[in-house]
Amino acid sequence: MIFFHCHKCDTRLSATPELFGTSIGCPACATWLKVPQLEDASKIVQAKSSPPAAPSDDLKARILTLTEEVKRLQANLLEVQGLKEGLELKLNDQSIELESLETSRRDLKSKYEKLKQTSQETIFSLEEKLSQQSKN
């Protein structure tokens, strides 16, 4: 079992060994979090719990924490990039769909125009026949 903190809401979270290195949603704020590897977690715990013996150790711990932060941010960035790419793909799909809809709309319009013309012609010829009949 390891303990770590949600980087967004700082809720203390625990993870069993089978979750090490995987991603889970924070139960408090639903932020997507990467569960640290065991060695990372022990480093974090060590860095957080051990009192700074010397300034250099404190600095090392800070660098370690910052390195973890950078790793986490890079992972987030990758996730965001993945989401963005997915959205762009969807957007692309939708514009293709829109194009085909536009094409069928144009098709329907021209069909409608033809139908309109045909019915006008039919009405015209019927009227002509009617007027001829009434003359007879």
**Torsions phi, psi for 26 (to 5 deg):** -65, 125
For Zn ion, the closer of residues 31 and 65 by Cβ is: 31
Closest CA to 32 of 71, 79, 92: 79
Site string for Zn ion, 29-68 (x = CB under 5 A): x-x-------------------------------------
**Least Å from the CB of residue 35 to Zn ion:** 13
Residue 52, token pair as written in the block: 């700074």
90 binds Zn ion (CB under 5 A): no
**Least Å from the CB of residue 2 to Zn ion:** 16
8 binds Zn ion (CB under 5 A): yes
Distance between CA atoms of residues 132 and 124, nearest Å:
12
15 binds Zn ion (CB under 5 A): no
For Zn ion, the closer of residues 6 and 44 by Cβ is: 6
Q: Which residue has the tokens 């139908």?
A: 115
Q: Select the residue interacting with Zn ion from 21, 23, 28, 124 (CB under 5 A).
A: 28
> Counting Cβ atoms within 10 Å, is residue 83 exposed (0-12), middle (13-18) or buried (19+)?
exposed
Kindly provide the b/e burial profile for residues 17-42, where b requires at least 16 CB atoms within 10 angstroms of the residue's own CB: eeeeeeeeebeeeeeebbbbeeebbe
84 binds Zn ion (CB under 5 A): no
98 binds Zn ion (CB under 5 A): no
Binding site for Zn ion (CB under 5 A): 6, 8-9, 11, 26, 28-29, 31
